[in-house]
Structure 1
Amino acid sequence: MLRPLRRQQKQKGTAVPRPSNREVAPLRVLLRLSGLIDAVNDGIGKLVYWLVLVAVVVSSANAVIRYALNTSSNAWLELQWYLFSAVFLLCAGYTFQRNEHIRIDIILGRFSKKVQAAVDVFGIIVFMFPMTLIIMVLSWPMFMDSFHTNEMSSDAGGLIRWPAKFLIPAGFFLLTAQGVSELIKRIAYLTGHRDEPGEKMHSHS
């Protein structure tokens, strides 16, 4: 732990050893990678959550047309599903970056940030990565098959299917990438190369 060690040595009046370039350089590269991943997910999240408004407009227009003009199309209904899926899947990494996924935490929030960061490292490696990678790998052939066959909706007037299926591997790729970023930040925090592990930690409430 470089920073705590330096504080103790300053208080004792001893010389503070500086980490070698070989020791710090790899972590600096990883932190830059983490910053790049954060920027990508932040940009995608802020862009995609506008689709909520688009979905509301489409849903409202579809309801008005259906009841006022007694006409509708399955394409409008499926478009609403596509928009909701895009928001849910493509914003998963953006939500994880802000630690806004729903969690019931009545124990871990009482421990120190170091303990919380260590538990997060364990959870990301042991639970999150296997799940996201398996879903990503299994959903890719499903998307490719739909793309090559130009799969259409089985409902009359429905939309093409492969864009919706592409959202699954794309969303879990972004979530996996954000997991890499959060893992880097927490390791950097635990090793004393970063003051805070992330935007916010576990709630104490």
Structure 2
Amino acid sequence: MRALMRRYIRAVDAVNYRLGRVVMYGIFVMAGILLWSSVSKTFFLPSLWTLEMAQFAMVAYYILGGPYSIQLGANVRMDLLYGEWSPRRKAWTDAFTVLFLIFYLSVLLWGGIDSTIYSFQYGGERSPTAWRPYLWPIKVIMCVGIFLMLLQSVSELFKDILRIRGETR
């Protein structure tokens, strides 16, 4: 069982690390879109697509970067008592609290999949804005990102279980 947990941790961490390293450059995509928005509003006709495209890029940036953030431990943690605890007590606390995250992400994924299926079933759901882009691409990206966050959360649970048992990765 421990060997299976270690393989799972290695596989999920490798995928999310590589994806996170690529997605972190998405900030430049967002900056480019917003720069074009400013230039087009100043010198040309304003573009209809820039604001919504920047929002879609930001959603992809945050959702696909989430698993990498979890992996690095870059999430916000209340450190009032936690910082003074032993590594084993931290692992127990993290193992307990990550169960809530896994539940939350599972419910979120269920809703995301339901919304994505709805988007496909009704002839391609479109945004009600003037640009009217299809919504299924961003919904698929959201489902993939939430699924990867769920996998990373399980990986963190396995790491905590191994720490509780006194093992390092």
Partners of 1:27 and 1:67 in 2: CA distance: 60
Identity of aligned residues (%): 26
Distance 2:7 2:133 in 1: 40
Q: Which runs of 5+ in 1 are unaligned?
A: 1-25, 196-205
Residue by residue, what CA displacement relative to the aligned partner does 1:104-131 show, whole Å, maximum 9, x if unpaired?
2111111111100110000112x11111
Match of 1:44 in 2: 19
**Cα distance in 2, alignment partners of residues 139 and 35 from structure 1:** 27
Residue 18 (structure 2) pairs with residue 60 (structure 1): no
Query: Which range moves more in the overlay, 157-166 or 93-102?
Result: 157-166
Name which one, 1 or 2, has greater alpha-carbon Rg. Answer: 1
**Paired residue for 1:138, among 95, 111, 115?**
111
Native 8 Å contact 1:45 1:91 kept in 2: yes
What residue is the counterpart of 1:117 in the other structure? 91
Is 1:30 the equivalent of 2:30? no
Provide the C-alpha distance between the structure 2 equivalents of 1:82 and 1:157, rounded to a whole number of angstroms: 13
Question: How far apart are the structure 2 equivalents of 1:175 and 1:159?
Answer: 26
1:185 and 1:157 mapped to 2: Cα distance? 45
Q: CA RMSD in A?
A: 1.3
- Aligned counterparts of 1:50 and 1:158: Cα–Cα separation in 2: 27
Output the amino acid matched with 1:98: L
The normalised TM-score by structure 1 is 0.78
> 1:153, 1:161 within 8 Å by CA — same for their partners in 2?
yes
Matched, 1:165 2:139: yes
3-state SS of 2:49 partner: helix
Unaligned runs of 5+ in 2: none
TM-score by length of 2: 0.94
Distance 2:118 2:54 in 1: 23
